[in-house]
Amino acid sequence: MSEQVQKLSIDEVLSKVRKLENFEVIKYEDDKIVVTPVKGIVKIGQDEELKKYLGEAKRRRPRGKPTEKQLKLLESIVKKLLEEKINFKVVFEGKEIILRFDIDHFIKVTDKEVKIAGFKNENESPIDKIYNILTGYGKVLFLKVVK
């Protein structure tokens, strides 16, 4: 197991949320949660055009950080998902938080609303386990797939 893989308690995972650390819950072992850092692009190589594009994208990245209300919501969601032993990924993108279940299923929390993608309604798992928490935050939108 690599040194980046950590076995944490629920409180230690919630501490990552408070520190705005991106992480992924990959499995559950006994009473511990196995967490890894979120993987991104590691090596670009010699493609100058791609390097230029990624450098520009990095400069345009939204600035700022999530509000206290967003973080409290995320803590509640993370705690519930951990109790239900559901794998997920948390990514902080400036003032937005993305909670990803897989490539097509995710929740985006902005300072004004919650957007849910990849799910038809609130009865699908794991949305059914956290929907009441989401509605307590504010407006909840289900995004439709564009074909």
How does pLDDT run across 24-38, given as a tens digit for each residue? 999 999 899 999 998
Task: Output the pLDDT for position 144.
Answer: 84
Task: Output the pLDDT for position 60.
Answer: 62
- Which of 94, 108, 91 is closest to 25 using CA atoms? 91
How does pLDDT run across 47-78, given as a tens digit for each residue? 667 666 666 666 665 578 999 999 999 999 99
Q: Is residue 1 part of a domain?
A: no
Q: Is residue 100 part of a domain?
A: yes
Total structural domains within the chain: 1
Task: Output the pLDDT for position 145.
Answer: 72
Q: Please name the amino acid found at residue 42.
A: V
Residue 82 tokens, joined: 């951990």
Task: Output the pLDDT for position 54.
Answer: 64
Task: Output the pLDDT for position 136.
Answer: 95
Q: Is residue 138 part of a domain?
A: yes
Between 3 and 96, where is the model more confident?
96
How does pLDDT run across 104-124, given as a tens digit for each residue? 999 999 999 999 999 999 999
pLDDT at 10 over 70: yes
- Structural domain range at position 28: 6-143
Task: Output the pLDDT for position 41.
Answer: 47
Task: Output the pLDDT for position 45.
Answer: 56
Least confident of 15-24, 56-65, 96-105: 56-65
Cβ burial, residue 85 (10 Å; 0-12/13-18/19+): exposed
